[in-house]
Structure 1
Amino acid sequence: MSYKKAVLFPCNPATTRGEATRLSSSKDKIVYTNGRTIIIRDLKNPSLVTSYSGHVQNATVARISPSGYYCASGDVTGTVRIWDIVGEDQTLKGEYKVISGPIKDLEWDGESKRIIAVGDGREKFGHAFIADSGSSTGEIIGHSKVVNAVAIRHQRPFRAATGGDDATIVFHQGAPYKYDKTIKTHTKFVQDIKYAPSGDHFASVGSDSKIFLFDGKTGDMLSEITDSPHAGSIMACSWSQDSKLFATSSVDCTVKLWDVETRKAVNTWTVGSGVPYQQVGNTWTEGDEIVSLSMSGDLNIFDKRTGDKPVRVLQGPSKPITAAAALQDSSFIAGLGDGRVASFSGSEYSYIGGTGHSTLVSGIAVSAGGKIFSAGYDDQVREIEPNVSSFVQASFSTASQPRSIAIAADSTVFVAEINGVEAIRSNQRVFELQPKFTPSAVAASGSVVADQKVRLYNWDGKALKEVAVLDSNKGAISALAFSPDGSLLAAGDSSGKVILYDAKERKLITSRWTFHSGRVHSLAWTADGRHCASGSLDTHVYIWSVEKPTRNIAIKNAAAGGVSAVFWLAPSKLASAGADGCVRTWDITFHA
């Protein structure tokens, strides 16, 4: 048995209220971070997506070098990693601890040789260094608080500008970089600074809703742009390739386009209203697309020539995927850590409409007839319309917090909760089991239901009757799955073991599926019942063989932060989803 990587369905950027989120671009590719994962995605070709998960802690910013060969990424510990984006191996070129706290922004110089990283440190707020060696190439000084943004002039003579929470911009000459002057134009936090590609100007924006233009060589202020101002903090700015226009994104839910020569607003796009539509980051690609990030995680793409709305909106998970299931035609549905449910069909995500969950989705189940149910930590079980567009208006309130959900052959929905197991039909409770133990997982096949330690029950449509207890698992049961014909039962536990039982004979088949080192979160059987996949907190996915229990396929590091769901999209195509919000697919080859 063997595997190879297939398509990656990327997460969207993670956002934090009140903070700017760094987006960057190289040609038609945009670059951003979500947790420990860095995503590079091509806007022209959605199938071209690269992910990188080399950071030990959450990444905060990533930028591709002007040469296009390397990416530099910073994280919350003050570490910068420089890695190869051309090869499959993503070879690490260098790792440097540059400041003692989170990196807020970093920038390459025009020669792809030097980097300036800025953020929150105890001894200093920024560091300039050589990408190859990590040796210092000047000093970044002059600020008294966190530095939020840095911009470097890509032409010689090199210049750099930094802006921070002390409401000042510090202008540096280089290289090596040295302090030149402090510019006190803003009255609140400086959120972003960007140099025009020509190097003639740079712009600054801040929480005071002000925009300033400066001379790129001298750092002298040229003007404040006061035409048609934003009504809220401006979080980001970016330039067109011809340096004649620049765009700004604001928490007033608008994106504005400015003409440098006239100092006037050329266009204003209103994305929506309310916190989810606050604009917290942007970038302008070489393909002339303006990409602005909403607080909700949506990537809004604008055409500078047209309209008052985005021409395209890229939706996708910006929080961890906590539950997922396959649908028809290689599509799937995923529940997120923020309570939203997203469906993927064709080439794009869309969110399920209507009244959904208010917090983490703990389980999703799909019946043989295509009915979809979700359970959440808001103590609700909800049904989703068959066309996967919106939640059914009615819902069922559970007696306690749901942990797992399963559907029997008669369409009864079983919910394993902290205090018991409930059987639901047509949003009505038809039976409630209140055991002395705490249920932690549930699976259903035909009229047989299994829950923790592993207890088998017969379901007659009215009540559950215990018929057997299978106790080969040593840890608490965390995932259960019947094979498609109901003859086999796989049980994963908190110690990382997967035990295979004969559900008909009610006996142990094998206890040798033991390679996980963390809690097993999900189990999924192939349609023929010959193989079972498991996903775990240890970030790995294993595919086990029933006929040859000692043989397996190990997919290591399948998701940074842990794998929360595995499911089969086709007989030989496995999908895994996890804490980084990405869904990765794998082409599996089963040898005879």
Structure 2
Amino acid sequence: MSFTKAVVYPGNPATERGMSTKLSASKEKIVYTNGKAVFIRDINDPALGVVYTGHVQNTTVARVSPTGYYCASADAAGNVRVWDTVGEDQALKGEYKVISGRVNDLEWDGESKRIIAVGDGREKFGHAFMFDTGTSTGEIGGHSKAINAVSIRHQRPFRAATAADDNTIVFHQGVPFKYDKTIKTHTKFVQDLRYALSGDHFASVGSDGKIFLYDGKTGDTLGEFEEGHKGTIYGVSWSPDSRAIVTASADTTVKLWDVETRKATSVYSIGSGVDNHQVGTVWSAPDTIVSLSMSGALNVFDKRSGDKPVKVLHGPQRGITSATAASSETFVVGTADGRVLSYDAAGVASVVGGEGHSTFVSSIAAGADGKLFSSGFDDRVREVDGHAFTPASFSTDSQPKAVAVAGDGTVFVAESKVVEAVRSNQKVAELKVSATPSAVAANGSQVAVGSEDQKVRLYNWDGKALSEVAVLEGNKGVVSALAFSPDGSKLASGDSSGKIVLFDAKERKAITSRWSFHSARVNSLAWTADSQHCASGSLDTHIYVWSVQKPLKNIGIKNAVAGGVNTVLWKQSGDKKAVLVGAGADTAIRVWEITFHA
């Protein structure tokens, strides 16, 4: 057996209410952060995504150098990492501790040699340095509160401008960078500022809803744009020809402005409510503009057509907690913030509509009729029909840990005290287990319940009640994942110690207990369609593919998902090749092609 890495489907940017989220662009790709990951996402093809997971703290901002060869990314602890975007190994060029707190923004100079990083430090709020050596290239000063944004003029003589929570902009001469003057145009927090590519001007936006234009060489204020926004403006970006800017605001609009007249030429209204607050924007191509909603949705506009987005890019905004295959080509995932997303064959994500979960999705299972069932920590089991939740839902007695669907469509819910059997959103049976249930699986009339006493109990379901037929032992920890093979002949049981025991479900005995390569809790198990191979994902970040015919043979995909693998599934599977999907804490969905050798 062997594997090759196929594609990565990216998560969406993390957002925080009341804060600007910095987006940047490199050709047809946009760059942003989420959790400890950095994403470089192609606007047109989700399969061309790149994810970097080298940070140990939550990332805050990332920007690709003008040459396109390197990316600089920063985190909440004040670290900046510069890494290679060209090679697959994403080699680290340098890591620097620039300030003692969160980095809010950073910028490359036009020669791709110098970086200025700014944020909320204790001794200083910004630092200018060479990207390859870390050598200081001046001082960033003049502010009394955290700096929110920085921009550098790309032409010589270099200039830099910084915007902060002290309602001021500081203009710096360079290089080396040094304080030149303070600009007091805004009356509230200055959220963002950007230099035009031509270097002739820069623009600033703030919580006062105003937009100002400045001379790029001298820093002199040239004027205010007419009738800005009705709410805080969180982002500003320049067109490639430096003749227009785009602004994104909490009033849920995105506006295009002509720099010469300082008047709005187009207004895009996204919707209403907090989820549609626009908290960031970037002009990624001559006619393509991207704005970020508070909900994490990336709105793509074509300035030549209409007043609505031409498309909306969706993806997980919090860690992926569960998933299941909806067909041989499509699958759905649940996330830590309660959302369920559906992925089509091309990897394009859409949010499952309707009234969903309000918090952590603990499990998703598919029935034989194509319906999906999800459980959440809001103590609800919900049904997904197509791309929407159905109105009906079932309220559980206690917090649901896992769900499984039997052959007749009955949904079994493992809870902290009991296992409930649900059909048509009504409880039809209840099973009290001597030990606390921790996992559940079903196939046809067979139901397996794993528990915290390290045992798996097999039951037969007759449509009315569960009758115990066997108790399977061999696990060395709390049973954390169960999966029947599609033909119902085998049962894999993973536990909190990292051990997996393969049972014969018909003979009710262990086939092998040698699947013990994981070093932490097994979170997910998935079988190929031919019932010959089982994949396991673990908190130890690794994925293994096991063979029934050759139990001692396996494929180890090491460090598959940063932060831990929460779910694995087979997107396609055949006799010789299969497509494996893995996801977890970093919001990215990774796909591998697995080859089974004779």
Is the pair's TM-score, using the shorter chain for normalization, greater than 0.5? yes
Taking structure 2 as the reference length, the TM-score comes to: 0.97
Deviation at 1:329, TM superposition (A): 4.3
Residue 320 to residue 83, structure 1, CA distance change in 2 (3 Å): same
In structure 1, the gaps of 5 or more residues are none
Shift of 1:287: 4.1
**Residue type of the alignment partner of 1:590:** F
Distance (whole Å) between structure 1 residues aligned to residue 150 and residue 9 of structure 2: 31
* Residues 506-558 of structure 1 deviation map (CA, whole Å, 9 limit, x = unaligned): 22222221222221111001111111101111221111112222221111222
Q: Following superposition of structure 1 onto structure 2, how do residues 316-327 of structure 1 map, counting pairs within 5 Å?
A: 316-327=315-326
For 1:496 and 1:168, how far apart are their aligned partners in 2? 54
Task: Provide the rounded CA distance (Å) in 1 between the counterparts of 2:330 and 2:259.
Answer: 45
Aligned residue for 1:559?
561
What residue number does 1:419 align with? 417
Q: 1:93 Cα deviation (Å)? A: 0.7
Instruction: Pick one of 430, 433, 443 that aligns with 1:432.
Output: 430
Map of 1:589 onto structure 2: 595
SS of the equivalent of 2:433 reads coil
Contact 1:72–1:81 (Cα < 8 Å) also in 2? yes
Q: For 1:292 and 1:364, how far apart are their aligned partners in 2?
A: 31
Distance 1:406 1:108 in 2: 51
> RMSD of aligned C-alpha atoms?
1.2
- The equivalent residue for 2:444 is 446
Work out which of the residue numbers 536, 539, 548 in structure 1 matches 2:538. Answer: 536
SS state at 1:285 partner: strand
Q: For residues 203-282 of structure 1, what are the structure 2 equivalents within 5 Å? A: 203-225=203-225, 227-282=226-281
Does the alignment pair 1:405 with 2:403?
yes
- Amino acid in structure 1 at the alignment position of 2:584: G
State the one-letter code of the partner of 2:394: F
Cα distance in 2 for residues equivalent to 1:534 and 1:395: 30
Cα-to-partner distance string for 1:119-163 (whole Å, 9 max, x where unaligned) = 111111111000110111111111111111000000000000111
Aligned length: 589
> Partners in 1 of 2:503 and 2:419 — Cα distance?
22
**Matched residue SS, 2:438:** coil
Mapped contact 2:51–2:588 kept (Cα < 8 A): no
The residue number in structure 2 matching 1:62 is: 62
Per-residue CA deviation, residues 181-214 of structure 1 (Å, 9 max, x unaligned), is 1111112111101000000100111111111111
Answer whether contact 2:239 2:286 (CA < 8 A) is retained: no
Please give the alpha-carbon distance, in whole angstroms, between the structure 2 residues aligned to 1:499 and 1:537: 17
Q: Kindly provide the CA deviation profile for residues 5-61 of structure 1, in whole angstroms up to 9, marking residues without a partner as x.
A: 112221111111111111100111111111111111222444321111111111111
1:310 aligned partner? 309
1:506 pairs, out of 505, 508, 518, with 508
Q: Distance in 1 between matches of 2:216 and 2:104?
A: 22
Distance 1:567 1:329 in 2: 10
Residue segments in structure 2 that go unaligned for 5+ positions in a row:
none
Q: Secondary structure at the match of 2:439?
A: coil
Contact 2:113–2:132 (CA under 8 A) maintained in structure 1: yes
1:496 maps to what in 2?
498
* TM norm structure 1: 0.98
Determine the structure 2 residue equivalent to 1:383. Answer: 383
Match in the other structure for 1:570: 572
Tell me how far apart the structure 1 counterparts of residues 432 and 282 of structure 2 sit (CA, whole Å): 55
Contact kept, 8 Å, 2:407 with 2:444, in 1: the verdict is yes
Are residue 341 (structure 1) and residue 377 (structure 2) matched? Answer: no
Q: Secondary structure, in 3 states, of the residue corresponding to 1:167?
A: coil
**Residue of structure 1 in register with 2:15 after alignment:** 15
Q: Secondary structure at the match of 1:350?
A: strand
Counterpart of 1:469, as a letter, is V
2:163 alignment partner in structure 1: 163
Mapped partners of 1:585, 1:330: distance in 2 = 12
Work out the CA distance in 1 between the residues paired with 2:381 and 2:399: 10
CA contact (8 A) 1:241 1:288 kept: no
Structure 2 residue identity aligned to 1:392? T
Q: Distance in 2 between matches of 1:312 and 1:527?
A: 35
Shift of 1:473: 0.9
Structure 2 residue matching 1:480: 3-state secondary structure: strand
Instruction: Name the CA distance, whole Å, in 2 between partners of 1:516 and 1:33.
Output: 29
Aligned equivalent of 1:142: 142
The residue number in structure 2 matching 1:34 is 34
